[in-house]
């Protein structure tokens, strides 16, 4: 079947579409379109091999991350290709022509057992392979067969955020290293290889050359960087606790629009322990559309919502829709003070839908560096929307609660 790569597919990713080697390693910067092209390649297999019963396995570290990113991409690309995509949410599978797709995570013992039970898979795609262990990679590779399909392939993609990763050591450390021989093809794509990338998105990534060379290397050029000094290294991702495990719920909101997504984080508090849930993480939302989505998501109108105080007009518009929204605490060095406060707390990212949006930011949320590599007391300003929303909510809510407690204590205390 002939494909016109110039119409729906990314013609700059021709090598990816034509590759038939056993292992396809796709490295790239931000907004390079690599996930979209891998999704396209998998979706088109039933058309390319119409008389074959194919099996595909798609994996990401957590299932909420997979659902909010890869599954969403697959559904939209199937629609673009006019391909019927029959999703079974109970079994977490999809039928595309003669191909069945399994969606799996690798976040607990049950996940590992489920993946290990799979055999005779034609195509495997692991998104964000750097989130997994090398042992996971080897276990997954054993799920592949080479019988039904014209070829079988293990595809995996990632952003090259640090040379300490086993991925770098295995595939890139030296030309004679493990995995650098026959049977593997390594591709590199950047935002300049994405014909649909917006000009302002490209320019935003380019500007890192002047402000943070490390981020410029990773996210614009797709080169290996060094993400040292992750700001929140100890956050974990547990399942939602049973019953009412919290004392109160409030929210943090970071506005966005074109390039940056709006991020609304629901925050559960019990004493000095907090659980985060990303409820909204979407681009191109007007304030009206954001407010309507908040209503659709069931955000309580009387719940405290702390939003970016630099957006008073946006706050007023959401307030006018009936939400109890207010500006977050800001002032001299408030960002550093807020970060220091959050670092002193026990914070979890709930393993539910939207977890990937928070975790993807958290794992690359670091301090900016100057041109000489010296750390600055300012966090990076890329993919920080859920991070900001969480800080707005927790820092402001707790600071206001502390001020209120001090006022009440003074008012009802013994006379002096």
CA–CA gap between residue 408 and residue 340 (Å, rounded): 26
Residues of the chain above pLDDT 90, percent? 65
Q: Work out the burial of residue 403: count CB atoms within 10 Å of its CB; fewer than 13 is exposed, 13-18 middle, 19 or more buried.
A: exposed
Contact between residue 104 and residue 64 where contact means Cβ atoms under 8 Å apart = no
Stretch 332-341: mean pLDDT: 88
**38 pLDDT more than 70:** yes
Task: Write down the number of H helices and E strands in the chain.
Answer: 16, 16
Distance, in Å, from the CA atom of 386 to the CA atom of 271, rounded to the nearest integer, reads 22
CA angle centred on 166, ends 163 and 169, rounded to 5°: 65
> Which region, left, alpha or beta, applies to residue 135 given φ > 0 means left and ψ of -120 to 50 means alpha?
alpha
Residue spans in the chain of domains classed CATH 3.30.420.280: 248-408
Read off the DSSP letter of residue 116.
Answer: H
Q: Which of 71-80, 247-256, 351-360 comes out lowest in average pLDDT?
A: 351-360
Question: Residue 12 — pLDDT band, cuts 50, 70, 90?
Answer: very high
Q: What predicted TM-score, i.e. pTM, was given to this entire model? A: 0.73
Backbone angles phi, psi at 272, to 5 degrees: -105, 30
Task: Strands of 256-315 (E only): list them.
Answer: 262-270, 273-282, 305-307
Q: Are 107 and 237 in contact (CB under 8 A)?
A: yes
pLDDT at 304 over 90: yes
Return the CATH fold of 248-408: Nucleotidyltransferase; domain 5 (3.30.420)
CA distances to 37, 314, 345 from 96, rounded to whole Å, are 17, 42, 46
Burial annotation 1-38 (CB, 10 A radius, 16+ → b, else e): eeeeeeeebbebbeebbebeebbbbbbbbbbbbbbbbb
SS3 annotation, 140-181: HHCCECCCCCCCCEEEEEECCCECCCHHHHHHCCCCCCCCCC
Q: Do the bridges between strand 367-369 and strand 375-379 make them parallel or antiparallel, or are there none, so unpaired?
A: antiparallel
Residue predicted with more confidence, 370 or 304: 304
Binning pLDDT at 50, 70 and 90, where does residue 409 land? very low
Domain with CATH 3.40.50.300 in the chain: 11-220
Q: What are the tokens at 175?
A: 């030309």
| Residue 203 clears pLDDT 60, i.e. is over it | yes
- Among 59, 67, 102, 101, which Cα is nearest to 84's? 101
Tens of pLDDT, residue by residue over 284-301, are 899 999 999 999 999 999
11-220 has CATH 3.40.50.2300 classification: no
- Tell me what pLDDT residue 407 has: 40
Task: Give dist(CA 250, CA 231) in Å, integer.
Answer: 23
Confidence band of 402 (pLDDT split at 50, 70, 90): low
Instruction: With beta carbons less than 8 A apart as the criterion, state whether 158 and 129 touch.
Output: yes
If you search the block for the tokens 């407690």, which residue do you land on? 405
Determine the pLDDT at residue 176: 45
* Beta-strand pair 123-127/54-60: parallel
Confidence (pLDDT) at 404: 40
- Contact between residue 395 and residue 337 where contact means Cβ atoms under 8 Å apart: yes
Handedness of CA 10, 16, 19, 20 (dihedral sign): negative
Q: Of 177 and 107, which is predicted with more confidence? A: 107
Enter the tokens of residue 38: 């891998």
pLDDT band at 6 (very low <50, low <70, confident <90, very high): low
Yes or no: say if 68 and 357 are a contact pair by the CB < 8 Å rule: yes
Over the stretch 50-94, which tens digit does the pLDDT of each residue have? 989 999 999 999 888 888 889 999 999 999 999 999 999 999 999
Q: Are 386 and 278 in contact (CB under 8 A)?
A: yes
Count of Cβ atoms closer than 10 Å to residue 352 Cβ: 18
Q: How far apart are CA 276 and CA 372, in angstroms?
A: 35
Question: Are 143 and 155 within 8 A, CB to CB?
Answer: no
pLDDT at 115 over 50: yes
Say how far apart CA 320 and CA 287 lie, in whole Å. Answer: 11
């Amino acid at each position: 079947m002939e494909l016109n790569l110039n119409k729906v597919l990314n013609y700059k990713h021709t090598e990816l579409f034509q590759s038939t080697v056993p292992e396809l390693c796709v490295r790239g910067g931000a907004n390079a379109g690599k996930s979209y092209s891998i999704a396209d390649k998998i979706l088109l297999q039933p058309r390319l091999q119409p008389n074959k019963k194919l099996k595909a396995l798609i994996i990401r570290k957590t299932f909420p991350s997979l659902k909010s990113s890869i599954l969403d991409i697959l559904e939209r690309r199937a629609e673009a290709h006019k391909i019927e995509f029959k999703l079974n949410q109970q079994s977490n599978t999809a039928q595309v022509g003669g191909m069945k797709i399994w969606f799996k995570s690798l976040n607990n013992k049950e996940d590992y057992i489920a993946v290990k039970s799979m055999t005779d898979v034609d195509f495997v795609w692991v998104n964000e392979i750097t989130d997994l262990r090398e042992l996971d990679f080897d276990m997954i590779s054993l799920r592949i067969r080479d019988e039904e399909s014209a070829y079988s392939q293990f595809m995996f993609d990632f952003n090259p955020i640090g040379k300490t990763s086993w991925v770098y050591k295995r595939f890139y450390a030296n030309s004679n290293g493990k995995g650098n021989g026959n049977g593997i093809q390594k591709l590199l794509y950047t935002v300049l290889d994405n014909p649909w990338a917006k000009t302002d998105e490209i320019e935003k990534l380019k500007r890192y050359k002047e402000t943070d060379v490390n981020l410029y290397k990773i996210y614009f050029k797709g080169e290996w960087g060094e993400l040292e000094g992750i700001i929140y290294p100890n956050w974990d991702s547990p399942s939602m606790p049973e019953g009412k495990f919290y004392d109160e719920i409030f929210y943090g909101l970071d506005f966005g629009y074109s390039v940056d997504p709006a991020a609304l984080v629901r925050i559960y508090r019990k004493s000095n322990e907090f659980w985060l849930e990303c409820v909204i993480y979407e681009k191109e939302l007007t304030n009206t559309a954001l407010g309507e989505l908040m209503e659709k998501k069931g955000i309580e109108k009387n719940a405290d919502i702390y939003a970016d105080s630099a957006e008073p007009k946006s706050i007023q518009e959401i307030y006018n829709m009936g939400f109890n929204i207010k500006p977050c605490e800001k002032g001299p060095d408030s960002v550093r003070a807020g970060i220091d406060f959050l670092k002193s707390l026990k914070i979890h990212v709930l393993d539910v839908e939207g977890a990937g949006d928070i975790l993807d930011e958290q794992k690359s949320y670091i301090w900016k560096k100057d041109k000489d590599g010296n750390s600055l007391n300012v966090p990076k300003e890329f993919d920080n929307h859920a991070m900001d929303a969480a800080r707005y909510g927790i820092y402001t809510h707790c600071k206001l609660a502390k001020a209120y407690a001090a006022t009440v204590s003074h008012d009802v205390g013994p006379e002096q």
